[in-house]
Each structure stands twice: as C-alpha cells, then as structure tokens.
Amino acid sequence: AQSVTQLDSQVPVFEEAPVELRCNYSSSVSVYLFWYVQYPNQGLQLLLKYLSGSTLVKGINGFEAEFNKSQTSFHLRKPSVHISDTAEYFCAVKDSGYSTLTFGKGTMLLVSP
C-alpha cells in the first residue's frame, strides 16, 4: 500500500522569502509523484508532476520539485513566494500501473507581507 507524509501542516513565510514544502512517500513499486494546489473553495490544480527522466521537475507559478528515490522524497520549492501563493498544497503518489491517487494531508502555506 502507498502512503504520503507531509510533515508540516502549516508553513508561515514572509513575502519574497524562499520556501520548501516537504513530502515523503512509501510504496513498494515504481511511482509517479504530483503536487497539487488548492485555493479556498476551489478544486485542486496540478502544479507539477514527476513521471520519469530528470529528477528536477519545474511546474507552474515558479515552483519546482526534486524526486529523490533513495530518500523517498519529493519536496516542493519556490525561491521567492508571493502573497498569492497562500493556499493548501497537496503531495500525491500514484503507482505506475494503477489509476488512483493517494494524497498527503496537505500543507497550508501562509505568506505574509
């Protein structure tokens, strides 16, 4: 069975500061990894995904993530955050041979001026 751990439930940060949101997963098979963002009262929007190839993945809105197989991690980073990045961020994993996503509990990113 798969599982996803997002170690931080909330991450407060000042505007223009860098941020890292942590994600660790467990799976016995080859996986695909995703980060989604959820703004209040909205559905989930895909930020980026890792399927294969380069372990550094670039996504929308200036976010990037690095897949580390040995540490079973897929941490999300942004070098300089904006107020508008305030939202809930979800890490998710999917077996390469299966269709459904397993999500972490989410990390609330709070950006203040």
Partner 1 sequence: GAGVSQSPRYKVAKRGQDVALRCDPISGHVSLFWYQQALGQGPEFLTYFQNEAQLDKSGLPSDRFFAERPEGSVSTLKIQRTQQEDSAVYLCASSGRTGDNEQFFGPGTRLTVL
Q: For residues 61 and 14, what is the distance between their CA atoms, to the nearest angstrom?
A: 17
| Residue among 28, 54, 70, 99 that touches partner 1 (CB under 8 A) | 99
Please choose, from the candidates 57, 56, 49, 52, the residue with its C-alpha nearest in 3D space to the C-alpha of residue 33: 49
Q: Which is nearer to partner 1, 53 or 113 (CB)?
A: 53
60 part of the interface to partner 1, by CB under 8 A:
no
Number of chain residues interacting with partner 1 (CB under 8 A):
23
Q: Is 61 in the site for partner 1 (CB under 8 A)?
A: no
| Residue 53 within binding range of partner 1, rule CB under 8 A | no
Q: Looking at beta carbons, which pairs linking 61-66 to residues 24 or more positions away fall under 8 Å?
A: 61/37, 61/85, 63/35, 65/23, 65/33, 65/35
Chain residues in the site for partner 1 (CB under 8 A): 4, 6, 32, 36, 41-46, 49, 51, 90, 92, 94, 99-106
